[in-house]
Every structure is written in structure tokens, then in C-alpha cells.
């Protein structure tokens, strides 16, 4: 009875939506001042059909807002909201254009809830929704953008569309800035704003409330100094304009049939989204904040951040030392660095730093017409000037940027960094006499350089020859695999020009002692792994794939080429492959510290893995997985991420192995045999283990398990607790909800651990193992969450919370062994 009533109500609601004069307004993109208005349920549509203006409710909210959204896609996406702070409570809202050219939103009793503004009185105003997503008010026959009476592009919300300006108008004072939604369900002003600051050189900053959390750096003529990845490409072009009238940033999409926008989301991430029609979803195309070093001033004054040195991100600039060395070494960087030697104005010099993001320039001074020499002289003359740099790096550099404050928020960049000259005392300049001497005899220097280079070249040639001859003594030298040589059916890879050494069987047999059991490192679903030493002394790991694989030669070679293209410091490097008859082998770099499971689950070994190392490993795995999921050219789902597949090099850097294997093998085999779910129990997401559905979110699940294992030192599968029957996930969840998450940590790391990092890891781990794959974050969020200090969402109950809810089925990758310990019997997984 009740259900029926609800159904009726729903129907009624639906009808009221459909009956309203939708048909009247749908074809129109213009609102007339004289007699037209739109009511809730009606909308106007831009001429090309791309954008719609009307009333909407955000998900799980009944509040009504007037907004503009992408209308022609399966997921209508709101890009602008009029009454952000003044929602309507019912469906009686009306949007009208007054005779004065003002848009007003009226509620049920005719009170104005929101209104636009107009710079001058109008005669025959009309409001029009353009195909760019801009809602404008103009005189009926005046299409000159300069004369628009009002436009929504001047009042951005959280979205920057193609053609919108982000910045300030110095004459009118108009400040176009973005501010995030409070949450997905609430478009009112959230905590984050992205706005131009015009105190010194105009620079945009992202704030959380009033606190700066990120700045992309000053514009250098080509890009923003600290956002090297934000560059013009096939998708869009952009510009930064700074003149007496205004400063702004704006971009244009090259191809108007592609949907893409830049959004400041409610979590404070500033990113470009792109609509993917195949998956019917918005994908993060590019995230402006890259890593931890993008946390504003992480290393404080005169510190420099390097993301590759994680977790010891910060170091002092040359000529500076930590203010409090002990704190600094404990990763408390907030006190920054101080000068080794105090300045003495007249005799000071400048140290050049290359490949960096320029420091905060909001209080700097600049001049576009000066050159670097003039810039230097000006800085040198002023004792309070701390650094100088070119303003524009194009054409060898021009312009001058001067700093007069302590330098903060410098980071090292692996690509597209800039140069800056930082003032230090003369005694810190070092090397000076040598440089002077060399400069005295320029010709002499050239001659020395030439002789040096010549001898080095001869040496290298000689060594190469010796090496070649030596190699010949054990098998032939590796050939080069460039796609599929025998056949012409696939030339795609040939074009890419990728070359991968092709080892011959004899070489590998020779290196591994004819695959002796003594050299066997492990056995897995895809085959066995052997250690080998090549004639030149290089240590290798050889994965000899099981012959049962039905994969053809073609597919195998192309697959290997795909894998070889994946290059990241947290992925194991593929050195080559070997194909002979039905033997297929992959040759990897050898990792001296074996795999992670060897350390974390072993009582004696786990002592040597302290918390900083574990945290370093967690972050490394996250970055490697992010690369597989998002940054590599093809998306790779690992599908068998586990401790045994994380190898450790001599510096304990984690490297994910077996990536791409799932892709190369499983595709064919699952279709042939649906029982073969490749993966490992204890790490498999519920939807994958039960339904065989895999996605990047099933990898995220495995990552979450791995994090909890690293923190606790216990295997998820085979976990056993006297108080309950839960597995590790259930146990962690129980402790977390009971407010005792620290109880989870493994005893060897209690001493060395940093509680906030541990808590964050457990929290993120639990977010990753949530039952529903939609709830789980993606890896880019994981990387951001691990690196930030902001609040985290509350996790929901994990999937496979107890072991009993797993319906066991046979698996190619797992074998079972019954093992009895204490009073509970567990079926223990045998790692591959
Ligand atoms: C719909 O439009 C027609 C004429 O265009 C008008 O007579 C009618 O009252 C309108 N209905 C509503 C619900 O606005
Ligand atoms: C607006 O109203 C005026 C006068 O009624 C009419 O001439 C004009 O065509 C209308 N414009 C639109 C877009 O409906
Ligand atoms: C109302 O708008 C319609 C269509 O724009 C127009 O034809 C009509 O003349 C307008 N009526 C008045 C009273 O302005
Ligand atoms: C809207 O979608 C239809 C069907 O998918 C397509 O034909 C049309 O080109 C789209 N229009 C725009 C503006 O994208
Ligand atoms: C209109 O309604 C609102 C909310 O229901 C109320 O606060 C306001 O006083 C009303 N205004 C008039 C003029 O009745
Ligand atoms: C509208 O413009 C006037 C004058 O330009 C200004 O004083 C007023 O604050 C503006 N109102 C809004 C809501 O922007
Ligand atoms: C926004 O800031 C308020 C006050 O500082 C805080 O309570 C809230 O959690 C923040 N929201 C987000 C999403 O960060
Ligand atoms: C624009 O993108 C569409 C869809 O991807 C493509 O079909 C079209 O060729 C592109 N146009 C240009 C000029 O690149
Ligand atoms: C600064 O350097 C000059 C020149 O080298 C020297 O004469 C002077 O004593 C120095 N002053 C201080 C305070 O060190
Ligand atoms: C910028 O530098 C040029 C060349 O040195 C000079 O002529 C000009 O006055 C400077 N501009 C300002 C605003 O200082």
C-alpha cells in the first residue's frame, strides 16, 4: 500500500516535470524580457545543443538551483550555478529577465532569491545561453562581447570553461576566481578558492579557507613555473595576459567537439577533466598538483622539495642549513633553513640554481624590459634583495623578477625547471679561483676539453670492443626485437621504434645454470622465476612462462613491447625477452632484496624494516600503481598486486613486478576458462573474486590490503585472532571503529613510527578496501591523501570482512595448504 502511494507520488512528480512547458522553451536559447520566463522544469538550450540552463537538484539533495550544465551527454554535468548560497526549497522558482536587463530568480511568493547585475540601463535586453556555456544579457541586436550587459563567465563557480578568463580587471576591479562546491551535494561556497593575487608579480594561488595550499608558480612566457605538466597540447592552447588593464589565464579547446573543462573540486584538487564517450564518464585528464612537493611551502624558508627523495622530501638550498637540525631530520621542516654565513651586502654573490620552480613571487618586483645583467646589478645594489631571475624564459630569457623576502615554496622539477640566482655570502660561492683561472686562458681550456673528450671516446670504444668479444663467448649477443619480424601483419610497433633486446635461449640457460633448482627464486601462476648472471656480470631475474599459455607468438611479442614501454622508478624494469620454440621468457633487472613479503611477514626480517622505510614503500607502490592506472599511455590493471609482487632494490625502493602479465595472459584465458580468476585470495576485491569483474578499483582494493599488511605485519589471509573470526581487514575495521587503530601496528615498528603517518595509512588502507568499488578512491586520490594533511572521508565497511564470505573456486594462481595454528584452522595461501 505504502509502496503504491510512493509510486503514485513519483509518477505525479514525473508528470509535473514533463507537463510544464518544456516543449515551448526547449528549442530556444534566448529569454525575452517582455513576457518570457523559465519555471522549474523548463529550460533553455544553447543553439548547438551543448549546454542547458534550468533548474536542478544536486545528487541526494532536494534543494533547487538554477544552473548551466552540459546537456548533450549521459551524465548532465553542472558547470555554473546562479543561486549558490540561496537554494529554493520547492519547485515554484521562476527565472525572469527584467526590463532593466537584470536576471532575477523569484521564489513561491515572488521574493527575489538571486539576481544578476548590470553595468548600465538597457532598452531591449535579452538573455541568451551561448554554445560556449556563457549566459549573457545583451541588447537585442548588439552581439559585441564588449557591450554585454552581464555574463555568467564573469562570475565563475568551480569550473573554468574554454574561453573563460580567470583573473582580475584592474580597471573595473572585477575579480574572476573559482571557488569549490562545499560537497558534491551542495554547490554553496566550499573551503577552496583559486584566485589571482596581485601584490607583486600576479600569481594565482589555491587556498583552503585563508591558508595558501598550492601555487602553480609565476608565468614564465611558456607555462607556469611550477606546473611543468600544464602545457599546450593537442587538446587545448592557453594564454596568460598581463597588461595595464588586466591579468588573466584562459584556455581554448582546439577541437570543439571534445568536451573538457578545468575544475576546482570540493576536495581542493585543481584538475582538467575530459569526457570519455566510451565509458560515459569524466576522466581526470591532468591534475595540476602533482605530488607532496606541491604542498605550499612544505620545506619552508630556503628549503627545496624533491619528490624523488620521499619521504625525506626537503633539503636546504646550497649555502643554507636547517634552523633546527634535529627537527629537520625528523621530517619537521616548518622552521626552514638559515644562512650558513650571514650576508655582507657589498661583497655578496649569487648562486645559480637550475631546474627549479620559482619561489613565491607574490611580493616580488618585476620589469619586463630589463635583461638578466641589469637585473643582477639591481639586486646586488639593494641589500634586501634575496634573489633574481628572468621573468620570461623564451628566446634565451628576458625581464627581471626580484625577491625581497625569504624564499619559500621552491621545488626541484624533473622537467621544465627554471633558473634562479640566490644571494649568498661571498664565502659560500666556492670554486671561484678555479673558474677565474680557466677564464684567463680560454684557448687553453678548449684544448684541455678536447683532449679529455677524445680520450674518453677512445676509452669507451675500446671497452665496448672488449665487452663485445667477451659476450661472444657465451651464446650470441642479444638481437633487437622491433615488433614482429616474421610477418608484416603488425607494423604499429615498428613505427614506434621501440627496441627491446631479444636474448637467445643458450644465453639464458647459461646464465641460470640451465635453470637449476638452486637458482630458482619462486614459482607462480605464470611460470617460474630464476636468478641468473650474464657473462658481463649483470644479475638478472628470468621469468620462464609456463608452456600452457595458449598465447601466440605475435601476441606475446606485441605484449612484451607494450610492457617494455612502461617505465617508472616503482616498476621493475624489463631488460628483454627470449623466445625459442614454445619457450617464452622475460628478463628483468634483479632485485637484491627479494620481495616485500620476505620482510614484513617474517619475524626476524621485519625488525630491519622500520616505519620510515615502510612509509616510503607504501608511497612508492602507490605511485607505481598510479602510473599503471593513469599515467602510462595504455591503462594497465595489475590484477595480482600483493606483497610477493613488490620487489625491493638495494636501497629498499619498492618496484612492482608482474604488471602487464595479467593483461597479456588473462584476456585469452578467462574467456576460455571462466574459472580462472587470476589473482590471489586475500588481495582480491569482492566483485572480482565473485563475479570476475575487474577494474582499476580492484587493484585499489589489493593496494589497501597491502597497506594494512605493511602496517600490521600480518597477512590478510590466514590472519587469526583469539577474540574473533575476522580476517585482517575485519580486524582493522573493528579497531578503527573502536577508535583504537594504533593497536593494529606491528610491534617492531612501534618505536620508529610516526603516529600521524600510521593513522593516515590505516585510514587510506580502509578507504581502499571498501565493499563497493565506487566508494574506493582512485590511485591519484590515494597518492594525494597519503601526502596531505587534510581530513579524509569516513570509510565504510570493507569487502571480505570475514573470510567466510568468500566462495572458493579453483584458481590458476593459488594453491592451498591447510595449516593449523592455535585453535583456528585456516587455509593458507601459498604465494606464487
Ligand atoms: C504552456 O504554454 C501555453 C501557450 O504557449 C500556455 O497557454 C499554457 O498556460 C502554458 N502552461 C504552463 C503550465 O505554463
Ligand atoms: C521578444 O519579444 C519581442 C517583442 O514581443 C519580439 O519582437 C522578439 O522577437 C522576442 N524575441 C524572442 C527571442 O522571443
Ligand atoms: C511574448 O513573446 C512572444 C514570443 O517571443 C511574442 O510573440 C509576443 O508578442 C510577446 N508578447 C508580448 C505581450 O510582448
Ligand atoms: C548531441 O548528441 C547527438 C547524439 O549523440 C550528436 O549527434 C550531436 O552532435 C551532439 N551535439 C553536440 C553539440 O555535441
Ligand atoms: C516569502 O517566503 C519566505 C520563505 O517562505 C519568507 O521568509 C518571506 O517572508 C516571504 N515574503 C513575503 C513577501 O511574503
Ligand atoms: C551591482 O553593481 C553595483 C554597481 O556596479 C554594485 O554596487 C553592487 O554591489 C553590485 N551587486 C552585485 C550583487 O554584484
Ligand atoms: C572546511 O573548513 C571547515 C572549517 O575549517 C572544516 O570544518 C571543514 O571540515 C572543511 N571542509 C573540507 C571539505 O575541507
Ligand atoms: C575533433 O574530434 C572529433 C572526435 O574526436 C574528431 O572526429 C574530429 O576529426 C576532430 N576534428 C579535428 C579538426 O581535429
Ligand atoms: C664586508 O666585506 C667587505 C669587503 O670584503 C669588508 O671590508 C667588510 O669588513 C665586510 N663587513 C663585514 C661586516 O663582514
Ligand atoms: C623597466 O626597465 C626599463 C629598462 O631598464 C626602464 O626603462 C623602465 O623604467 C623600468 N620600468 C619600471 C616600471 O621600473
Q: Concatenated DSSP letters for 760-814?
A: HHHHHHHHHTBSSTTTSPPHHHHHHHHH--S--PPP-PBSS-BGGGPPP---SS-
Strands (E), 3-115: 30-32, 37-39, 43-45, 51-56, 65-70, 77-81, 94-97, 103-106, 112-115
The number of the ligand nearest the C-alpha atom of 119 reads 6
| pLDDT the model gives residue 706 | 94
The reply to whether ligand 3 has any atom less than 6 angstroms from the CB of 30 is: no
Closest approach atom of ligand 4 to CA 131: 13
Residues with CB under 6 A from ligand 4: 48-50, 72
Residue 130 has phi, psi (to 5 degrees) of -85, 165
Q: Of the ranges 676-685, 755-764, 785-794, which one carries the lowest mean pLDDT score?
A: 676-685
| pLDDT the model gives residue 601 | 87
The residue that leads in pLDDT, 554 or 372, is 372
| pLDDT grade for 824, boundaries at 50, 70 and 90 | very low
Cell numbers placing 430: 666556492
| pLDDT the model gives residue 660 | 62
Q: Whose CA is nearest to atom 10 of ligand 5?
A: 109
Q: Of the ranges 39-48, 444-453, 567-576, which one carries the lowest mean pLDDT score?
A: 444-453
Residues 6+ apart with CB under 8 A from 298: 292, 305, 313, 314, 333, 409
Q: Whose CA is nearest to atom 11 of ligand 3?
A: 35
429-453 mean pLDDT: 49
CA triple 281-189-293, angle to 5 deg: 70
**Pick the catalytic residue: 360, 640, 658, 699?**
640
Q: Whose CA is nearest to atom 2 of ligand 4?
A: 72
For residue 584, cis peptide bond before it (omega within 30 degrees of 0): no
Alpha-carbon separation of residue 78 from 164, 175, 253, 551, 830 (angstroms): 16, 22, 19, 46, 50
| Collapsed DSSP state (helix, strand, coil) of residue 145 | helix
Average pLDDT value over all residues in the chain: 81
Let me know: does 810 contact 675? Beta carbons within 8 Å. Answer: yes
Closest approach atom of ligand 1 to CA 39: 14
The reply to whether ligand 3 has any atom less than 6 angstroms from the CB of 37 is: no
The reply to whether ligand 1 has any atom less than 6 angstroms from the CB of 15 is: no
CATH number for the region 596-826 comes to: 1.10.510.10
29 is catalytic: no
**For the chain, what is the radius of gyration of the CA atoms?**
31
Cell numbers placing 106: 523569484
Report the distance separating Cα 775 and Cα 768, nearest Å.
8
Query: Structural domain boundaries of the chain?
Result: 24-191+213-284, 293-429, 433-474, 505-589, 596-826
CA diameter of the chain: 100
Q: How many angstroms separate the alpha carbon of residue 399 from the centre of ligand 10? A: 10
Q: Is the pLDDT of residue 154 over 70?
A: yes
The number of the ligand nearest the C-alpha atom of 189 reads 7
| pLDDT the model gives residue 525 | 58
Q: Whose CA is nearest to atom 7 of ligand 8?
A: 257
Closest approach atom of ligand 4 to CA 48: 13
Q: How many angstroms separate the alpha carbon of residue 651 from the centre of ligand 8? A: 47
Residues 6+ apart with CB under 8 A from 380: 348, 350
Q: Is the pLDDT of residue 2 over 90?
A: no
246-261 mean pLDDT: 94
| pLDDT the model gives residue 16 | 29
Closest approach atom of ligand 3 to CA 34: 14
Q: How many angstroms separate the alpha carbon of residue 764 from the centre of ligand 6? A: 45
Q: Tens digits of per-residue pLDDT, 414-430? A: 888 899 999 999 988 86
Report the distance separating Cα 187 and Cα 70, nearest Å.
16
Cell numbers placing 658: 608482474
Q: How many angstroms separate the alpha carbon of residue 21 from the centre of ligand 1? A: 6
CATH number for the region 505-589 comes to: 3.30.200.20
Q: Is the pLDDT of residue 446 over 70?
A: no
Residues with CB under 6 A from ligand 9: 344, 346-347
Residues with CB under 6 A from ligand 2: 30, 32, 34, 126
Cell numbers placing 525: 601462476
**What is the DSSP annotation of 317-359?**
PTTEEESSHHHHHTT--TT-EEESS---GGG-EEEEEEEEEPP
Q: Which residues are annotated as a binding site for ATP?
A: 543
| pLDDT the model gives residue 452 | 53
Which class is domain 24-191+213-284? mainly beta
Residue 87 has phi, psi (to 5 degrees) of -65, 155
Q: Using DSSP bridges, classify how beta strands 103-106 and 112-115 pair: parallel, antiparallel or unpaired.
A: antiparallel
Q: Whose CA is nearest to atom 6 of ligand 8?
A: 257
The reply to whether ligand 3 has any atom less than 6 angstroms from the CB of 210 is: no
Q: Whose CA is nearest to atom 6 of ligand 3?
A: 35
Closest approach atom of ligand 3 to CA 32: 5
Q: Using DSSP bridges, classify how beta strands 583-589 and 178-183 pair: parallel, antiparallel or unpaired.
A: unpaired
Quick one: how far is CA 289 from the chain centroid? 7
| pLDDT the model gives residue 815 | 33
| pLDDT the model gives residue 455 | 61
Q: Whose CA is nearest to atom 1 of ligand 7?
A: 191
| pLDDT the model gives residue 11 | 35
Q: How many angstroms separate the alpha carbon of residue 746 from the centre of ligand 1? A: 71
* Range among 162-166, 273-277, 665-669 with highest mean pLDDT value: 162-166
Q: How many angstroms separate the alpha carbon of residue 379 from the centre of ligand 10? A: 14
Q: Tens digits of per-residue pLDDT, 569-609? A: 888 888 888 887 778 888 888 888 888 988 888 888 888 88
* Angle subtended by helix axes 696-712 and 611-626, to nearest 10: 170
| pLDDT the model gives residue 661 | 62
Q: How many angstroms separate the alpha carbon of residue 109 from the centre of ligand 5? A: 6
Instruction: Write out the H or E segment, with its range, that includes residue 204.
Output: strand 203-208
Closest approach atom of ligand 9 to CA 344: 1
| pLDDT the model gives residue 463 | 62
Q: Is the pLDDT of residue 716 over 90?
A: no
Cell numbers placing 619: 608511497
| pLDDT grade for 535, boundaries at 50, 70 and 90 | confident
The number of the ligand nearest the C-alpha atom of 89 reads 5
| pLDDT the model gives residue 473 | 44
| pLDDT grade for 438, boundaries at 50, 70 and 90 | very low
Amino acid at each position: 500500500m505504502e509502496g503504491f502511494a510512493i509510486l503514485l507520488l513519483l509518477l505525479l512528480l514525473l508528470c509535473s516535470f514533463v507537463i510544464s512547458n518544456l516543449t515551448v522553451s526547449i528549442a530556444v536559447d534566448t529569454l525575452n524580457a517582455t513576457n518570457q520566463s523559465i519555471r522549474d522544469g523548463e529550460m533553455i538550450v544553447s543553439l548547438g545543443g551543448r549546454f542547458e540552463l534550468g533548474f536542478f537538484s544536486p545528487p541526494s539533495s532536494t534543494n533547487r538551483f538554477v544552473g548551466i550544465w552540459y546537456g548533450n551527454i549521459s551524465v548532465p554535468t553542472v558547470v555554473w550555478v546562479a543561486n549558490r548560497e540561496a537554494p529554493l526549497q520547492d519547485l515554484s522558482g521562476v527565472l525572469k529577465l527584467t526590463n532593466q536587463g537584470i536576471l532575477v530568480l523569484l521564489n513561491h511568493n515572488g521574493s527575489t532569491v538571486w539576481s544578476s547585475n548590470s553595468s548600465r540601463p538597457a532598452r531591449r535586453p535579452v538573455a541568451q545561453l551561448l554554445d560556449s556555456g556563457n549566459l549573457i544579457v545583451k541588447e537585442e541586436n548588439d552581439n559585441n562581447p564588449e557591450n554585454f550587459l552581464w555574463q555568467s563567465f564573469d562570475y565563475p563557480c568551480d569550473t573554468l570553461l574554454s574561453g573563460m578568463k580567470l583573473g582580475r580587471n584592474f580597471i573595473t576591479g572585477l575579480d574572476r576566481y573559482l571557488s569549490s562546491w562545499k560537497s558534491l551535494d551542495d554547490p554553496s561556497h566550499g573551503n577552496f578558492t583559486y584566485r589571482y593575487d596581485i601584490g607583486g608579480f600576479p600569481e594565482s594561488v589555491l587556498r583552503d579557507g585563508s591558508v595558501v595550499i598550492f601555487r602553480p608558480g609565476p608565468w614564465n612566457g611558456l607555462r607556469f613555473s611550477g606546473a611543468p605538466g600544464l602545457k599546450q597540447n593537442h587538446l587545448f592552447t592557453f594564454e596568460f595576459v598581463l597588461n595595464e588593464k588586466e591579468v588573466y589565464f584562459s584556455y581554448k579547446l582546439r577541437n570543439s567537439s571534445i568536451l573538457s573543462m578545468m575544475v576546482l573540486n570540493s576536495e581542493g584538487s585543481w584538475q582538467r577533466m575530459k569526457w570519455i564517450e566510451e565509458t560515459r564518464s569524466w576522466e581526470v585528464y591532468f591534475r595540476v598538483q602533482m605530488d607532496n612537493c606541491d604542498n605550499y611551502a612544505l620545506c619552508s624558508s630556503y628549503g627545496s622539495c624533491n619528490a624523488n627523495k620521499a619521504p625525506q622530501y626537503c633539503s636546504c638550498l646550497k649555502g643554507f642549513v636547517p634552523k633546527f637540525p634535529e627537527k629537520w631530520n625528523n621530517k619537521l621542516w616548518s622552521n626552514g633553513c638559515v644562512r650558513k654565513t650571514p650576508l655582507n651586502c657589498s661583497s655578496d654573490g649569487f648562486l645559480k640554481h637550475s631546474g627549479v620552480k620559482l619561489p613565491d613571487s607574490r611580493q616580488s618586483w618585476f620589469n619586463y624590459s630589463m635583461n638578466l645583467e641589469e637585473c643582477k646589478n639591481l639586486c646586488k645594489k639593494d641589500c634586501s634583495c634575496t634573489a633574481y631571475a628572468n621573468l620570461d624564459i623564451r628566446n634565451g630569457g628576458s625581464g627581471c623578477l626580484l625577491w625581497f623576502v625569504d624564499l619559500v615554496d621552491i621545488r626541484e622539477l624533473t622537467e621544465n625547471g627554471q633558473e634562479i640566482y640566490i644571494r649568498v655570502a661571498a664565502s659560500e660561492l666556492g670554486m671561484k679561483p678555479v673558474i677565474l683561472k680557466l677564464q684567463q686562458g680560454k684557448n687553453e681550456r678548449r684544448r684541455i676539453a678536447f683532449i679529455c673528450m677524445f680520450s674518453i671516446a677512445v676509452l669507451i670504444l675500446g671497452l665496448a670492443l672488449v665487452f663485445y668479444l667477451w659476450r661472444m663467448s657465451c651464446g650470441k649477443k642479444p638481437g633487437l626485437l622491433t615488433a614482429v619480424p616474421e610477418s608484416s601483419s603488425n607494423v604499429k610497433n615498428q613505427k614506434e621504434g621501440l627496441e627491446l633486446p631479444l636474448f637467445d635461449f643458450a644465453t639464458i640457460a647459461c646464465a641460470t645454470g640451465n635453470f637449476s633448482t638452486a637458482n630458482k627464486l619462486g614459482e607462480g601462476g605464470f611460470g617460474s622465476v630464476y636468478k641468473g648472471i650474464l657473462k658481463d656480470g649483470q644479475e638478472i631475474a628470468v621469468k620462464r612462462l609456463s608452456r600452457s599459455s595458449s598465447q601466440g607468438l605475435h601476441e606475446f611479442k606485441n605484449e612484451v613491447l607494450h610492457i617494455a614501454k612502461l617505465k617508472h622508478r616503482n616498476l621493475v624494469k624489463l631488460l628483454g625477452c627470449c623466445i625459442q620454440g614454445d619457450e617464452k621468457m622475460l628478463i628483468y633487472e634483479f632485485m637484491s632484496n627479494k620481495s616485500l613479503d620476505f620482510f614484513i611477514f617474517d619475524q626476524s626480517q621485519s625488525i630491519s624494516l622500520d616505519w620510515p622505510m615502510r612509509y616510503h614503500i607504501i608511497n612508492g607502490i602507490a605511485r607505481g600503481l598510479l602510473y599503471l592506472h593513469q599515467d602510462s599511455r595504455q591503462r594497465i590493471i595489475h590484477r595480482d598486486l600483493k606483497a610477493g609482487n613488490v620487489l625491493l632494490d638495494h636501497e629498499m625502493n619498492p618496484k612492482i613486478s608482474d604488471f602487464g602479465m595479467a593483461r597479456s595472459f588473462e584476456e585469452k584465458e578467462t574467456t576460455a576458462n571462466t574459472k580462472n580468476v587470476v589473482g590471489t585470495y586475500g588481495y582480491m576485491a569482492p566483485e572480482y573474486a565473485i563475479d570476475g569483474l575487474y577494474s582499476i578499483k580492484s587493484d585499489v582494493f589489493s593496494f589497501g590490503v597491502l597497506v594494512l599488511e605493511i602496517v600490521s605485519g600480518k597477512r590478510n589471509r590466514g590472519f587469526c585472532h583469539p577474540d574473533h573470526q575476522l580476517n585482517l581487514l575485519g580486524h582493522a575495521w573493528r579497531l578503527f571503529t573502536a577508535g583504537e587503530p594504533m593497536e593494529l601496528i606491528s610491534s617492531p615498528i612501534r618505536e620508529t613510527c610516526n603516529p600521524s603517518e600510521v593513522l593516515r595509512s590505516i585510514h587510506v588502507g580502509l578507504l581502499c578496501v571498501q565493499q563497493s568499488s565506487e566508494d574506493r578512491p582512485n590511485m591519484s586520490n590515494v597518492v594525494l591523501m597519503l601526502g596531505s594533511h587534510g581530513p579524509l572521508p569516513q570509510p565504510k565497511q570493507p569487502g571480505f570482512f570475514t573470510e567466510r564470505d568468500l566462495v572458493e573456486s579453483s584458481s590458476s594462481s593459488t594453491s592451498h595448504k591447510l595449516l593449523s595454528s592455535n585453535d583456528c584452522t585456516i587455509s593458507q595461501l601459498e604465494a606464487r
